Structure 1
């Protein structure tokens, strides 16, 4: 978006220093002329105002029309509506996304005095029956979706494009079925898209004041860019791609300013650098932290998110089971042991591993050790889930506290043997060790060392803190149970279970990678506690405090961890290469009684047109570069500035929001493409302006001619196709119309598979 300018030297006989001010004025004047030329041709202001009003009204119509339909929970409203309810009840929850957009939804609920009693448990639950004020909550998304369209129009106007170019860019998003569907429901995407649009607009406005550095308006729009960036990253972490977009433009601008011919001293350049560092990185990060501060300040009560957090974190919550039920573990207590990731309990029974496994490997043919998960939470009633924690030395008295780093033995109460690991391959993981039970004299003497386990602290923190001895508490102390003899960590998993001989239980085995995060267990409870034991009496505990930064750092780690774990298959997941052509979509909602549905897909005509314009742009760049290599200069300076700077910025923004998804292993869906689609819409409007102009280099200096008729024909033709498709697919975008089988089949374009097609 910047134009370079060669600085002229002093005329012969003039003093270079004495004329530096006049020369700088000449440079600024020339730069102003080039930039004004690069921005295109402005039309009468009233035309922009009329077009802006018209496209805003259309955006409001497409977003608010039948917003009450369906009157049931749709798609991910089960998550984000629920989170708003938890905020209103101040109940702690865990989510993968930063809090800003969720706080915004909760704030809308608070304004309408919604109490958060409804928990959005299932898709299809009735809002009417449960008396949920869902329309105002959806209206929040609709307002943001509506405002996105005029912000796009104003961005194009700021960049100097014609009314037709501005209108076309805004219309692509206004009548895009995916944008409309996402802007009518209680979701985060409308906030994300609106924040992306605001960021591009603010930076475009900032670029118009480059000639007035450090002026009030310069600072205003630079700050506005930073605030908008913070809202993007505070809504979803994919907002980092918007940072990349602005970062590309800022680096390009700073590189130009660094040029000696620009006349800036190093201290002056440093001021430019520092201003951008503060406004675009430091200040947005502070705002980003602020939303987490609000998040923690509101969520003060124990809730469904407790189990994701450390015991230290849980003890800061009111009514926390951790504070109520956590007890010191003593030697010779009868305990249950629970795996943190799978919630399954360590178990054994009087059944042996088969002599040979299905793949022909030979086992020890000894007693099975497995993990069981009981959804009815009756694990504590089964004696086969009970273990006695026994000291490894006779010098340790019964009833002594157990500490991390202690070496212990586990006696299985149900069968009387001791837990053991040995160098035999486990049933499902040939590289892992088998866990089994040893009995009597054999366990006490011959295999004593094989029954020893060290209890390592398994929580987060520095290495120093992990090695610190601490009292082990039920539910509260994460542990890695390390086999002393072979140095493997006790581990289980639920992605594959044991066959019929193992009753479908989870395998327990020894993992050689002892530091893996899924090796963590907790001592869940103490069973059959003596009533006279002081620990059996509930003594209210004071709620603890934890610094904001410790809470934030722990939550950040968990959010990134669980984001990376979203790699399982999903029936509506799609790959990035399918997005630009809207080859498929996502089923949001089905009404079997009325045979109605909401299917999330883009405006295929609009999507394909964007791809065409992106391809044309690459062709133009290639043609320009090839001809210039042969000293054939076809394009004017104004045209090249617009092609490489203005359109180049928008093209880079599209690429920054699209190509990184190819590097991700997590689940991906069509809605991830919407920010890139918005940038491509801005780009398409700009390219229509470019190809509607006579951009040929003119040696006589005659002005470039803008062909309004050509522009009008292109925009009108493309717009008719986009609007037609929107209304043709409207029944499955709004879910308010029953279609016949033939009508459903007629809308199964490309790879789209709809319900009720038979």
Structure 2
């Protein structure tokens, strides 16, 4: 334009003509400036839309927050951990402590004592007086806060109201995001921390021309604190570090250019400022949460077995540990099943010769499990632990260790426990347990031998083979049969018929590593008053440096994270996540036929994939055309394409593609941070597509751009909102659906219950 003006000036010979041309040029520049100033919406529009979408998000996350009033999915873990914090009892978990401490803090604020342990999905909150709505309210508040932060991030990046609305709306009405924001889980904290990190770094970038100013430092430190919250919640937060790290490296690379006029000393200040704010400060905060974790958990608890003996000596004995006694040979003990709480039992009654299905039994003495309050009062619940060699008095008073081979003599009837190659009553694939007496003991001696194997969840075979002293109440065991290599097991999903008085079946499980094969020794019933074990001697508590504790726990957390490679019915691979091809059953109630199924909003997920694909196409087209010297995009449009949208695209990639390298169990919820960033990206690319980005354009047709954006956002919103409400019943778990309605919602690979 300026070249045309200069050419016309050369041809003109009169001052009047020159004056008219100059006036025309000034007028055109003013017009362009005015239109560019009008390209952003007025502030009041942002405020109105922000308040509206936030209110909707609040409503969707808080409505029916108390439904269901039972333990749902992984609430069994994170609710339990909060209870351990409140009781100050040591536990072990794979995730850092920040989000769990937040949940426990809510319990502490309302004065809850942590008595309820969230043992099983479906346990009633109402019957156990659990403040579960307060716990869930924490997640709901965090889930709601994500929405305005996304909106403000888009506004900070210079996008118009429609783009801000589209990005926020995708997450606001996403079924998966809503489910994770209504339960006692860590994901709401994780996603909020990711959103805060992206927002803080975007705000920091707006002050890059004011280095080391107060606002520059404020938002740089805010980015570091947010990063610390991400990594202190779950270790997948390292992907957020990748995102910010790539952006920081790119920025430092630009500052290193001599054309920027920075001396090496000035560049070093920029580098050290970022190193301090984004690495040192977050690491100090990260360590602080572990310091708080150790300071609170001072009592012995279920996590002891994971830690070294040196660490265990730093813990006070819990009431459980105080009542725990060292088990010795010829002790008479009760044996309790870990999952069902029932006690190993036998009586003089025998198995029927034939079962109801016609199978033949051994017709020998029954071995069952009973759930009674005081099992030690009935000799039929008591078993004497006997050494391998009969009448080995040299073992009397000697401690029993894990990995020892022992026999169990039934106190009530005098026989020895055994299992053999006879099908059990209810599980034909399992072995029957019975009791054999002295007259047959010689011929069946090998069948009475059992190995006491240490049970530590997720541990290696080497650790399970360790020899440790066995204590009542405190040592988890697998009781393995030496002759047939099965594990003693019981269950309460189906009880034995009247001939066994409706008691639980005991059988030999060939899958010895199953997590429900675990037993504990309950109480020594023949403990003499003169026995030293009957006297409680307080344990001497020792100290251990904090960093040594932290390093030990850190190594164990990484190790057990890598061990999570077993199959799971709802595990999925990353290639199914962007299109929401899989989900997870969180809860189902067989009585009311209501269920919660964790699945993303398919319309929103697919829309994001479309925008991500379009972006790749635009970038490839731009690169190819520029190779042929066709510059189709303006400099401003290319900057937005590669810098603003490129940053968000890298953020999505960094939170998604690394999962392909992991061998551990993976689930759809691992995609939610990437989904959040993809929503930001989608809103931004939608505005880019609706704009006139050509090089020759002055981008002055703002009205047309707004009309295009309004239509696009309206169509997308209708689809996203419709899907959310169509699947609302399995998002909130508050409605009964007929089998026909369930089948109508079994899209893609959604495996819903009650569809028959």
TM-score, normalised by the number of residues in structure 1: 0.70
1:72-221 → structure 2 map (5 Å cutoff): 72-221=70-219
1:314-353 → structure 2 map (5 Å cutoff): 314-319=312-317
Which position in structure 2 is the counterpart of 1:424? Answer: none
1:240-319 → structure 2 map (5 Å cutoff): 240-319=238-317
For 2:71 and 2:327, the matched residues in 1 are separated by: 44
Q: 1:702 aligns with which of 698, 710, 716?
A: 698
Which position in structure 2 is the counterpart of 1:32? Answer: none
- Structure 1 residue 653: deviation in Å? 0.3
Deviations 1:32-85 (A, max 9, x none): xxxx99999421111111110111011001101111111111111111111111
Are the counterparts in 2 of residues 311 and 322 from structure 1 also a CA contact under 8 Å? Answer: no
- Structure 1 residue 127: deviation in Å? 1.2
Q: 1:676 to 1:704 in 2, by over 3 A?
A: farther
Which position in structure 2 is the counterpart of 1:382? Answer: 385
Q: Look up the SS of the partner of 1:598 in the other structure.
A: strand
Deviations 1:172-222 (A, max 9, x none): 000000000000111110111111000000000000000000000000000
Q: 1:251 to 1:526 in 2, by over 3 A?
A: farther
Are the counterparts in 2 of residues 38 and 642 from structure 1 also a CA contact under 8 Å? Answer: no
For 2:404 and 2:651, the matched residues in 1 are separated by: 62
Q: 1:121 to 1:695 in 2, by over 3 A?
A: same
For 1:39 and 1:70, the matched residues in 2 are separated by: 51
Which position in structure 2 is the counterpart of 1:587? Answer: 585
Are the counterparts in 1 of residues 154 and 164 from structure 2 also a CA contact under 8 Å? Answer: yes
For 1:605 and 1:741, the matched residues in 2 are separated by: 24
For 2:187 and 2:688, the matched residues in 1 are separated by: 31
Which position in structure 2 is the counterpart of 1:754? Answer: 752
Q: 1:538 to 1:686 in 2, by over 3 A?
A: same
- Structure 1 residue 316: deviation in Å? 1.2
Q: Look up the SS of the partner of 1:211 in the other structure.
A: coil
- Structure 1 residue 752: deviation in Å? 0.5
Q: 2:570 aligns with which of 558, 564, 572?
A: 572
For 2:134 and 2:115, the matched residues in 1 are separated by: 16
For 1:215 and 1:38, the matched residues in 2 are separated by: 28
Are the counterparts in 2 of residues 209 and 218 from structure 1 also a CA contact under 8 Å? Answer: yes
Larger displacement relative to structure 2 (136-145 or 375-384): 375-384
Q: Look up the SS of the partner of 1:226 in the other structure.
A: helix
- Structure 1 residue 527: deviation in Å? 14
- Structure 1 residue 505: deviation in Å? 8.4
Which position in structure 2 is the counterpart of 1:338? Answer: none
Which position in structure 1 is the counterpart of 2:600? Answer: 602
Matched positions, count = 584
Q: 1:234 to 1:115 in 2, by over 3 A?
A: same
Q: 1:530 to 1:650 in 2, by over 3 A?
A: same
Deviations 1:425-465 (A, max 9, x none): xxxxxxxxxxxxxxxxxxxxxxxxxxxxxxxxxxxxxxxxx
Q: 2:68 aligns with which of 52, 67, 70?
A: 70
- Structure 1 residue 720: deviation in Å? 0.6
Are the counterparts in 2 of residues 141 and 185 from structure 1 also a CA contact under 8 Å? Answer: yes
Structure 1 runs not aligned, ≥5 long: 1-35, 336-341, 343-374, 390-398, 402-409, 415-471, 477-492, 507-524
Which position in structure 2 is the counterpart of 1:448? Answer: none
For 2:40 and 2:141, the matched residues in 1 are separated by: 29
Which position in structure 2 is the counterpart of 1:649? Answer: 647
Are the counterparts in 2 of residues 39 and 159 from structure 1 also a CA contact under 8 Å? Answer: no
Are the counterparts in 2 of residues 114 and 133 from structure 1 also a CA contact under 8 Å? Answer: yes
For 1:81 and 1:609, the matched residues in 2 are separated by: 35
For 2:94 and 2:718, the matched residues in 1 are separated by: 40
- Structure 1 residue 590: deviation in Å? 0.9
| Regions of 4+ moved over 3 Å | 36-41, 320-329, 375-382, 384-389, 410-414, 472-476, 496-506, 525-539, 703-706
Which position in structure 2 is the counterpart of 1:53? Answer: 51
- Structure 1 residue 697: deviation in Å? 0.4
- Structure 1 residue 310: deviation in Å? 1.3
